[in-house]
C-alpha cells in the first residue's frame, strides 16, 4: 500500500513539475524587449479605459500590446498613439527601438487613408453619400500608401535590426445592417467600406511581406463580431464619438491578442 500510494503521488508530481517547466520555457521563449508602435487600434481606443498619463494618445490597459506582453512575459514599451499616421510613427515613436529590441508590433496606414473621415462622411444623413470619399481612399491606398509603409518599415528595421516585426492589420467594421439610427450608413456603403478594408489589408500585407515582416490579419477573427453583430467586438456610433468604430475590450482581448501572441511565440 505504501509503495502504491507513493507511486500515485509521484506521477502527478512529475506531471506538475513537467507542466510547470513547459510554462516557464514558453515565457522564456518570448521574453525580451517589446515595443508597440502605431495608431488608435494599437493604443486601445474603443476600450473606454486609458492610462491617465497617456493623454490624447489614449493608451489602454486593455489594449492588445499590454495583454500580449502579459501573456508572453515580455517587457513592454508602449508608444502607440491615437490618431497617428505613418509620419507620426516615424517621427515620434521610433526612439524606443534599438538593437536590443526583440519584438515590434505596428499598425499604421488607416489614418493616412483617412478611413475615419470616410466613415464620418458615410454617416451623414440622407441624401448625402460617400462614394467620392471611398474612391479617394482606395486611390490613396493603391498609389501612395505602399511607399509610405516602405519608408516606415525600413526605419523600423534600421533601428531594430534583429527584432521580430509584426505588422498588425485592421478588421472589416460592418456587417451590412443599419442598426445605428444616428449614423445612417447604408448597406451598400457598408459593403464598399468593407472592400476598402480588404484593400487596406492586402496592401499592408504585401508591404510587410516585402520587408520580411509577419502580418496579423484580424478580418477572419472579427467575422460575426462587426458593428451590429451580437456580440459586437467593434463599437458602433458611441459617446464620446472618438470611441466609435474601434475594437472594444473584447475585440482587443479575444480578437487581436491571440493573433499577436501566436506570432510572438512561433
- Per the CB < 8 A criterion, the answer to whether 247 and 41 are in contact is yes
CA–CA separation, 182 vs 196, rounded Å?
A: 23
Stated length of the chain? 266
Of 54, 107, 225, 246, the catalytic one is 246
Enter the DSSP assignment of 252: I
- Per the CB < 8 A criterion, the answer to whether 80 and 37 are in contact is yes
Give the residue among 215, 227, 102, 94 at the shortest CA–CA distance from 166: 215
Give the residue among 255, 76, 41 at the shortest CA–CA distance from 167: 41
246 catalytic residue (yes or no): yes
CA–CA separation, 150 vs 204, rounded Å?
A: 10
40 catalytic residue (yes or no): yes
The radius of gyration of the chain from alpha carbons, rounded to an integer in Å, stands at: 21
Enter the DSSP assignment of 54: G
- Per the CB < 8 A criterion, the answer to whether 153 and 213 are in contact is yes
> What is the DSSP secondary-structure string of 6-66?
HHHHHHHHHHHHHHHHHHHHHHHHT-SEEEEEESHHHHTTTSS---GGGGGG---TTSHHH
Pairing state of beta strands 214-216 and 164-168?
A: parallel
Of 6, 31, 40, 120, the catalytic one is 40
Enter the DSSP assignment of 32: S
| Sheet strands (E) in the chain | 33-38, 75-78, 101-107, 164-168, 214-216
Tell me the catalytic residues: 40, 246
Amino acid at each position: 500500500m505504501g509503495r502504491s500510494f507513493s507511486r500515485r503521488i509521484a506521477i502527478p508530481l512529475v506531471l506538475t513539475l513537467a507542466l510547470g517547466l513547459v510554462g516557464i520555457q514558453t515565457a522564456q521563449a518570448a521574453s525580451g524587449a517589446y515595443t508597440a508602435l502605431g495608431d488608435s487600434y494599437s493604443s486601445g481606443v474603443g476600450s473606454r479605459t486609458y492610462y491617465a498619463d497617456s493623454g490624447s494618445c489614449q493608451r489602454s490597459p486593455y489594449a492588445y500590446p499590454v495583454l500580449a506582453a502579459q501573456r508572453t512575459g515580455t517587457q513592454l514599451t508602449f508608444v502607440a498613439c491615437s490618431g497617428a499616421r505613418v509620419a507620426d510613427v516615424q517621427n515620434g515613436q521610433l526612439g524606443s527601438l534599438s538593437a536590443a529590441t526583440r519584438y515590434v508590433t505596428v499598425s499604421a496606414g488607416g489614418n493616412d487613408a483617412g478611413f475615419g473621415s470616410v466613415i464620418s462622411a458615410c454617416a451623414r444623413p440622407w441624401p448625402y453619400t460617400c462614394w467620392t470619399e471611398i474612391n479617394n481612399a482606395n486611390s490613396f491606398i493603391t498609389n501612395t500608401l505602399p511607399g509610405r509603409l516602405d519608408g516606415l518599415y525600413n526605419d523600423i528595421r534600421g533601428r531594430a535590426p534583429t527584432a521580430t516585426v509584426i505588422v498588425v492589420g485592421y478588421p472589416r467594421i460592418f456587417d451590412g445592417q443599419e442598426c445605428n439610427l444616428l449614423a445612417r450608413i447604408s448597406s451598400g456603403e457598408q459593403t464598399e467600406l468593407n472592400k476598402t478594408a480588404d484593400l487596406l489589408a492586402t496592401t499592408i500585407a504585401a508591404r510587410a511581406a516585402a520587408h520580411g515582416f509577419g502580418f496579423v490579419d484580424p478580418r477572419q477573427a472579427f467575422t460575426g463580431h462587426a458593428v451590429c453583430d451580437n456580440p459586437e467586438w467593434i463599437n458602433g456610433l458611441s459617446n464620446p464619438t472618438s470611441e466609435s468604430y474601434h475594437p472594444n475590450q473584447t475585440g482587443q482581448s479575444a480578437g487581436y491578442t491571440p493573433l499577436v501572441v501566436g506570432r510572438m511565440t512561433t
